[in-house]
Amino acid sequence: MSFTSEPRWHRHKRGPASPANGPLRSWLLDRGSLTERLIKLSHGDFGVQVIRQQMSLPRPSERKALAMRHHQLALIREVILLGGGRPWVYARSVIPQTSLNGRLRGLRKLDNRPLGALLFSDPHMRRGAIELTCQDTRQLPLPGPLQGIQATIPGRRSLFWLDNKPLLVCEMFLPEFTPYNTPL
Ligand SMILES: C=C(O[C@@H]1C=C(C(=O)O)C=C[C@H]1O)C(=O)O
């Protein structure tokens, strides 16, 4: 399964319509490691469930954001980040095949180790602007037990560069992610 339609992405701008005007503002706009924050929030009870990780064609807006040519393949990694065993974030990372070399070779076999740990351990990592969106959960390839939920959820995406090689990371905050009253 994959996105049935792509969300529209916007740079953050103040205004009632922005998803960053809700309770998740600090989470949507934080430029640090989401993994690190989720590990703290879950008191270490954090996990990564890999839904899909395979070479495929990126979506048009992903290809554009990564300045990829048509028919150029990318490693598509889709995961659920779990806190206290609960699904908190759906994440989709797009890593062009041309980025999968050198120190990024390890991304081919990341499995359930968090991508963020690799990205934020590199002092030369660069992160681009954060774009925001809201999306219907039914448009996400959520695993079985989560397919029943229907909600419009906020999310963000940004480019990262390691050794000047780009990858695109999208994170959607699922309905069970309620950081301000998380009874962990
Ligand atoms: C980019 C980060 O990595 C996180 C981990 C991911 C993974 O393991 O696939 C994907 C997106 C992120 O939420 C981060 O921690 O900020």
DSSP 8-state class, residue 28: H
Provide mean pLDDT across the span 23-39: 94
Task: Name the closest-CA residue to atom 14, ligand 1.
Answer: 116
Give the per-residue pLDDT at 180. 65
pLDDT at residue 88 is higher than 80: yes
pLDDT confidence bin for 39, thresholds 50/70/90: very high
**81 in contact with ligand 1, CB cutoff 6 A:** yes
Q: Does 36 show up as a binding residue in the annotation? A: no
Mean pLDDT across the chain: 89
pLDDT confidence bin for 125, thresholds 50/70/90: very high
pLDDT digits (tens, 9 = 90+) for 142-171: 888 888 889 999 999 999 999 899 999 999
Q: Does 86 show up as a binding residue in the annotation? A: no
Q: Other C-beta atoms within 10 Å of 7: how many?
A: 20
Confirm if 105 and 63 have CB atoms less than 8 A apart. no
pLDDT at residue 90 is higher than 80: yes
Q: What are phi and psi of 133, to 5 degrees?
A: -155, 170
Domain boundaries, the chain: 10-177
Closest of 15, 28, 17 to residue 155, by C-alpha:
28
pLDDT at residue 17 is higher than 70: no
Give the class (CATH, top level) of 10-177.
alpha beta
Give the per-residue pLDDT at 43. 95
Q: Return left, alpha or beta for 25; rule: phi > 0 is left, psi -120 to 50 is alpha, else beta.
A: alpha
Give the per-residue pLDDT at 3. 46
Distance 25 CA to ligand 1 centre (A): 18
Q: Which atom of ligand 1 is nearest to the CA of 170?
A: 11
Instruction: Report which of residues 107 and 113 the model is more confident about.
Output: 113
Q: pLDDT above 90 covers what percent of the chain? A: 68
Distance 155 CA to ligand 1 centre (A): 13
Q: pLDDT above 70 covers what percent of the chain? A: 91
**162 in contact with ligand 1, CB cutoff 6 A:** no
**pTM for this prediction:** 0.91
Distance 116 CA to ligand 1 centre (A): 4
**65 in contact with ligand 1, CB cutoff 6 A:** no
Give the per-residue pLDDT at 130. 96
If you write DSSP's letter for every residue of 89-105 in order, what string do you get? EEEEEEEEGGGSSGGGG
Range among 14-18, 114-118, 145-149 with highest mean pLDDT value = 114-118
